[in-house]
Structures are given as structure tokens and as C-alpha cells.
Amino acid sequence: MNDRPTDNPTRDAPPRPEAASDSAAGELELIRRVLLDEARAIEAISAGVGQEYTRACSLIERCAGQGGTVLVSGLGKSGHVGAKISATLASVGIASHAVHPTEAAHGDLGRFRTLDLAICLSHSGETDEVVALAATLRQDRLPIIAITRGAREGEAPSRLERLADVTLAVGVRGEAGAGLMAPTSSTTATMAVGDALALAVARRRNFTNEDFARRHPGGQLGGLLQPVVELLRFRAGENLPLVEPGVSVESALRDVEKSGRRPGALLVVEDDRLIGIFTDGDLRRLVLSDPAQMKRPIREVMSPGPRTISDSALARDAVAAFREHRQDEIPVVDDRGRPVGLLDVQDLISRRLVQD
């Protein structure tokens, strides 16, 4: 048995509860401070937006309009931010690629054409690889947008600023948090500037959600932007019988059974226009109260004037309607109020647009 005292008798002792509490509180305070610092950095940029942004948008719009590509380049963290900006531009219909500034000098310069535009990112404006790329592109007379910290008062513009046609200064002088040098506020601000440019140019080019949906057919985002008529399993004139108001409930149900798979509701029409809906819930309540009521005309037991959505709506509109009104079935109608189909909540669940 070793009776020697340990070198650190408190090494395995659990931390005091008050010490753990102080540490957690300090950590949460740091997280809040980082988030606020980054938010303030973006707010400061917003306050200083001027004509240089309009000029930058015009350069991007001209490039896209003549079939050019916006090539975005930065080194290190700026390179990652540039890749995201490039992806955002592409998602709103503006051809764009990210280019590594070092690799550009080893063959990737062949990607640049006279129709193209370069967005060069360097917080200091002095990153050698980015400045060298911009200098080469300037010789080839390609337009250049620089996104940098911007010159301090009394300072000369950076080398990148002097080469650029337009400079967008993010103006961030310090990073978020505890005074570490890791890029935080500066990269967040630069990314926000890229988003703002992309959306502003998309607006100029009348880019719509329908255009966005065509470029994003996959995933939940693409699903939400689908036309609602593409989600319909039950369509009027195909597998969704429309019921006249004078028909009894019993007869209407028999007719529906003949058509195959029964929808979760019956649509009642008069002069081809939707006037009511009779759901499975209505049927259960009717049978439980008095089965003899099955002989009554459906107009007497239907829910008149049901909520509908337009056949021009998107899936996201249907999701919003289901969440707001908690309907399991929503009739889809044309601009004259004629039924086009019946959207069932299961149609959205099966596509993972809403949760069961």
C-alpha cells in the first residue's frame, strides 16, 4: 500500500458549485457579447450605405445581363466568406464561382473573361495574393469590386482599394468578444454585404420566388416553393367527385366509394362553384348523433363557405393555412371559385413540409 501523499490532493475534487455557476454565467455573457458585437457591426454598415453600393450593383447587373460570371476571391477566412457570397449570387440567378487567389496564378486565370466581374475580399486590403490577382485583372480591364475594412481617417487607401472600381468598406475595427484576433465581426459583416448585393441585384432583375424554386427543386426549401397544384393527390374531374347540394349524404358516400380511394372530405358545388365541404369529422359526428341523418341532403349538414387556397398558391401558402387554421383538408379553387382539387395534410407530411 502506498501511503505517499499526492502531489495535488485537490486534483480530483469536484469544482465548487458556486465556481461552476460563475463560469457558466461568464460563458453566457461572452456569447451574448459576441452576438451583440456582430449585430452592431452590421448595423454600423447599414447606417453608412451610400452610392458605392449602387455602383457595385450596377456592375454586377451589367455582368449578369451580358452573360458574364461574377468571380469571387479571398484568402483564408475571406475565401470561405467569398464562397458563400458566390453561392448566394448563383442561387438568385447570377452566374458566379469562387476562385482561390493563389490557384488563379497557376491556371485559374483562364476562368476570367472580358465579360466577367471580380469581387475581391481582403479585410486589410493588403493580402498579397488577392492584390496580385486584382492587379492582373486590372491589366485585363475587368471590373473589380473590393470589400475591405476601409482606410482609417488619415490613412492612404489600401493597395486593393486603389485597384478596384468600387470599394465597399465594412469599417470593422475590432472583432467580437474577448479581444481575440480571430475573425468574427469582420467576416460576418462581409458576408452580410454580399447578401445585400445579391438580393439588391436580384430585385433589379425581377427575380421571383418562382425563379428561385426552379433553381432549388430539392429539400424542404424547394418543396415549399412548389406550386400547390403539384401536391394534389385528389383532383376534380379525375379522382375527386364533386357533390350536388341536393344529394343525400348516403348517396354521396356511395358515389365516392365507386371512384376508388376516398378523399378525407366531399366538396359540394352549385353551378360549378364550391359552396361547402363535408369532412370525415362531420361524418363521424353525424353517425354518432343519429344514423338516420344519413338520408338528409348534404347541404343541410355540410360546412358552408369553407376556407380555400388558390390554384396559383405555393406549397408554403398551404403550410401556413394548415398551421393557422388546423384544417386537415383544404379545397383548392381557381379564380372563379371552381374546385381544382383537395389538398390533404398528408400530402404535406409525406413531403416533410409539415410534421405529423
pLDDT digits (tens, 9 = 90+) for 288-337: 888 788 888 998 989 899 889 898 888 888 888 777 777 788 899 998 99
The string of pLDDT tens digits covering residues 176-208 is: 876 677 889 999 999 999 999 999 999 999 887
In the chain, CATH 3.40.50.10490 sits at 28-207
User: Is 351's pLDDT higher than 90?
Assistant: no
How far separated are the first and last CA of the chain, in Å rounded? 62
Cα atoms found within 13 Å of the Cα of residue 208, Cβ hemisphere only: 5
CA distance 199 to 53: 12
Q: Any idea which architecture 28-207 has in CATH?
A: 3-Layer(aba) Sandwich (3.40)
Give the DSSP per-residue string, 134-187.
HHHHHHTT--EEEEE--PPTTPPPPHHHHH-SEEEE----S-SSSS--S-SHHH
Average pLDDT over residues 223-232: 76
| C-alpha pair distances (Å), 15 with each of 18, 242, 302 | 8, 71, 67
- Spell out the residues 6+ positions from residue 328 whose beta carbon is closer than 8 angstroms to its own: 264, 265, 279, 281, 344, 345
Say if residues 306 and 276 touch (Cβ distance below 8 Å): yes
User: Is 1's pLDDT higher than 60?
Assistant: no
Say if residues 78 and 133 touch (Cβ distance below 8 Å): no
Instruction: Tell whether domain 228-349 is in CATH 3.90.1150.10.
Output: no
Mean pLDDT of the chain: 84
Comparing C-alpha atoms, which of 277, 279, 267 is closest to residue 339? 267
CA distance 324 to 317: 11
Residue 196 C-alpha cell reads as 445585400
pLDDT of residue 223: 59
In the chain, CATH 3.10.580.10 sits at 228-349
The string of pLDDT tens digits covering residues 228-243 is: 888 888 888 888 889 8
The string of pLDDT tens digits covering residues 133-157 is: 999 999 889 999 999 998 877 889 9
CA distance 317 to 213: 14
pTM: 0.61
Comparing C-alpha atoms, which of 82, 83, 39, 64 is closest to residue 200? 64
Residue burial 41-67, b: 16+ Cβ < 10 Å; e: rest: bbeebeeeeeeebebbbebbbebbeee
